[in-house]
Structure 1
Amino acid sequence: AVENAVKFARRYTGRPGIIVFEGAYHGRTNLTMAMTSKWGLFKKGFGPFAPEVYRLPVPNLYRTPEGMTEEEWVDWCGWNLENALTAHIDPSALAAIVIEPVIGEGGFIPVPHKFLRKIREVCDAAGAVMIADEIQSGSGRTGRLWAIEHSGVVPDLIISAKSLGAGMPISAVTGRAEILDAPHVGGVGSTYGGNPLACVAALEALKILTSPGFLDKAQHIERMVRETFEPLKAEIPVLGDVRGVGAMMVLEFVKDPKTKEPWQEFAMETIKLASRRGVILIRAGLYTNCIRFLPALDIPEDMLREALLVVAGAIRETYRALAVGA
């Protein structure tokens, strides 16, 4: 879907250039590896990669540079985006800007709404296509069908997959008809495109996601995660941040709460402990120092609470072993 979205944008605009952002994950094909940020895990040894991809900073508020306020950091990133159309690529060569409204693999970073609005403004001014990659953040994950809805920004194309099929392999590009109709007939296709079984699964998933009140469950999950781990920050100073939107939440661990030096080992040891106690977790983050939570929206409350308490206990035990013990 990401690859096809880029093809649609290039055919529609007649331009080659794509702007993406630090921390982004867009896939593992050659073009999407070029668009993906994390080199060591996803790209090492697999190059060379597709050209005409330009990467810029995204305003991660937790890592606001010293000496700047969060607002100044967002404004600087907005200025840098505009400046890139002189420093990196001319507007006449820009086909699309691709952004995850909540950066996924990069650490569940909610992109500030002001920055999303800036992307929309830049695309409008340049005649480029704004693409929202909602493969991880979409399909109800944040409490709206699409995460970008929280900002009020309307992209030209939305990319979806993962939860769209409730486990079945399916992806989609949805958007403005004039963009999707731009390629010649037969120009965009796929061996498994339109798989009937996967399409049936996606239709049923969408029925559930759009049923009254279902997406409210995401906010309930966010509250439970925050209630469990926000108080823990005072007790466990290496728990640097608890962030996310809806049922897309993350814990970030750092060696020092002031320098925010990533602590990968802490996240890994916590995951090992929790796994031995029956809770399977996975890491995330540009520095691989985060633990992510992506529970099913309809997870029973008692099951979620039990799992979160197991993780909290594993964090305490890891802290005693690695920080206090050291």
Structure 2
Amino acid sequence: MMIMPKNLDILKKEEQALAPEARIKYFDIVIESGKGATIKDVEGNEYIDLLSSASATNTGHSHPKVVQAIKDQAEKIIQYTPAYFANDKAAKLAERLTELAPISGPVKLAWGTSGSDANDAIIKFARSYTGRQYIVTFTGAYHGSTYGSITASSVSLNMTRKIGPLLPGIVKVPFPDPWKKKDYETNDQYVDRMFEEFMHPFETYLPADEVAAILIEPIQGDGGIVKTPSKFMEKIYQFAKDNGILFAVDEINQGMGRTGKWWSIENFGIEPDLMSVGKSVASGLPLSVVIGRAEIMDSLGAPAHLFTTAGNPVTTASSLATIEVIEEENLLQRSSELGQKSLEFFKQEQKNYPFIGDVRMYGLDGGIDIIDPQTKKPDVEATTKIIYRIFELGAIMISLRGNILRYQPPLVITEEELEKAFEIIHQAFNDYANGKLKAPANSSEIGW
């Protein structure tokens, strides 16, 4: 697929006004429209979307039900700040989301406009409720770009470079990702070792009775689509409970049906005290939510976490419609079934191509490592060649951590579209295996 001048002309003009930090570079396209699991650029080139706008459009692009809900509400009123007055859509949505939350007992929520501020809210509510200052997070995490959430993150040096000092009281501990496991370790030995590393700060400089919350992505998103080992999760959860520490989960990337369940924490049988929700909660419109046990959410008063446009009528109408689509079209089950089909495809490719390392799939939610077959080390150059070839063949897939294929199609993708995507990916793998691929001219700029 060839990039035509119109894409490049628009990008060149935009570049004069757009700060370089505002976009992680991948492909030189300008998106004009989307429907379901496909998008089109301004030249009319069509692509199968295997990214879902960073998992922000789980119900697909411009779903008719969501579009109609937005239109109907916009014709009534677009905005009147919920900071001062209620609107019926937000009131209905608050009830709906607190019912869906995987938390027993009375549950309440607060509105925001992005996942970033939802994680800021976790910090605020946890500190307020416990009277403690410290928040524990994990390496490899991506929690957002506001000062609180960016401090809690550790997936890119550009999230700390030149902008310090960051928020005090955030302590990072190692995440038990698959690249840390030694060849000689069993899974249990690995979990035990990583839990020892988790405990090290508490035994040397971090008093547990001064920690407000542990914040974790049950399945890390931008860190590589990596599920926390269940036994490790159980250990840190029990440690939190034993020490009066709140257990908070980030569901921004992995929630809203992405893993085949409403929330990724449901894959562990654990109930959080607090959770952050964003991205697909309103099919990509700017809405976020922090949800928690009522007694925690009652610990702050207005305006400790208020925003003029948060929870406005249009975004909450979109969210209500999004929830209906997920339920009516059985997208949780669909994610599980198509995720299994995707796992089988990538496992077969793994047998055929030695440059495919670990394959992780949790519903329609996958991370596929590209490695050097000789050294078994991450191969960033190969990954860039492969994703660029996939793009040329008509699909959108990006990389994480340089060498991980990010696979997150809309949950509404048809089986025909999925099979076409498999054909494209297979051809890209095969072209790379046969030495047919060259690195794009701007390969040094591509990716995280």
TM-score of the aligned structures, taking structure 2 as reference length: 0.68
State the distance in 2 between where 1:77 and 1:272 align: 36
Aligned to 2:376: 260
Among candidates 390, 394, 400, match of residue 278 of structure 1: 394
Aligned to 1:302: 416
> CA contact under 8 A between 1:162 and 1:170: conserved in structure 2?
yes
5 Å matches for 1:46-57? 46-57=163-174
Structure 2 residue matching 1:231: 3-state secondary structure: helix
1:81 deviates by 2.3
Q: Does 1:320 align with 2:434?
A: yes
Structure 1 residues 262-321: Cα deviation after superposition (integer angstroms, max 9, x where no partner)? 11111111111111111011111xx32111111111111100110122012102212322
1:67 deviates by 2.4
AA in 1 matched with 2:376: K
Aligned to 2:186: 69
1:322 deviates by 8.0
Instruction: Rate the CA distance shift 1:225–1:252 in 2: closer, same or farther, 3 A.
Output: same
Instruction: Rate the CA distance shift 1:271–1:89 in 2: closer, same or farther, 3 A.
Output: same
Deviates more, 1:215-224 or 1:81-90: 81-90
Structure 1 residue matching 2:322: 3-state secondary structure: helix
Aligned to 1:105: 222
Identity, in percent, stands at 31
AA in 1 matched with 2:381: E
Structure 2 residue matching 1:135: 3-state secondary structure: coil
Higher relative contact order (CA closer than 8 Å, sequence separation 6+): 2
Aligned to 2:231: 114
Q: Does 1:26 align with 2:140?
A: no
> CA contact under 8 A between 2:343 and 2:361: conserved in structure 1?
no
Q: Does 1:200 align with 2:317?
A: yes
Structure 1 residues 136-192: Cα deviation after superposition (integer angstroms, max 9, x where no partner)? 010110011001101101110111101111121111011100111101232221232
> CA contact under 8 A between 1:54 and 1:88: conserved in structure 2?
no
Unaligned runs of at least 5 residues, structure 1 = none
5 Å matches for 1:166-245? 166-211=283-328, 213-245=330-362
Structure 2 residue matching 1:55: 3-state secondary structure: strand
State the distance in 1 between where 2:166 and 2:434 align: 44
Deviates more, 1:116-125 or 1:19-28: 116-125
AA in 2 matched with 1:10: R
1:62 deviates by 5.1
Aligned to 1:42: 159
State the distance in 2 between where 1:295 and 1:103 align: 17
Instruction: Rate the CA distance shift 1:301–1:128 in 2: closer, same or farther, 3 A.
Output: same
Deviates more, 1:50-59 or 1:6-15: 50-59
1:45 deviates by 2.9
State the distance in 1 between where 2:266 and 2:209 align: 29
State the distance in 2 between where 1:39 and 1:166 align: 26
Instruction: Rate the CA distance shift 1:317–1:88 in 2: closer, same or farther, 3 A.
Output: farther
AA in 1 matched with 2:238: E
State the distance in 2 between where 1:317 and 1:43 align: 38
Unaligned runs of at least 5 residues, structure 2 = 1-117, 438-448
Among candidates 153, 178, 203, match of residue 86 of structure 1: 203
1:39 deviates by 2.9
Structure 1 residue matching 2:163: 3-state secondary structure: coil
> CA contact under 8 A between 2:247 and 2:272: conserved in structure 1?
yes
| Cα RMSD for the two superposed structures | 1.8
Instruction: Rate the CA distance shift 1:63–1:320 in 2: closer, same or farther, 3 A.
Output: farther
> CA contact under 8 A between 1:254 and 1:261: conserved in structure 2?
yes
AA in 2 matched with 1:278: G
> CA contact under 8 A between 1:266 and 1:322: conserved in structure 2?
no
1:243 deviates by 0.4
State the distance in 1 between where 2:436 and 2:204 align: 45
* Higher radius of gyration, 1 or 2: 2
1:5 deviates by 1.1
Q: How many residues align?
A: 320
Structure 1 residue matching 2:435: 3-state secondary structure: helix
> CA contact under 8 A between 1:21 and 1:57: conserved in structure 2?
yes
State the distance in 2 between where 1:105 and 1:82 align: 25
Structure 1 residues 27-73: Cα deviation after superposition (integer angstroms, max 9, x where no partner)? 11122111111233433333332121111112223541232112211
AA in 2 matched with 1:18: I
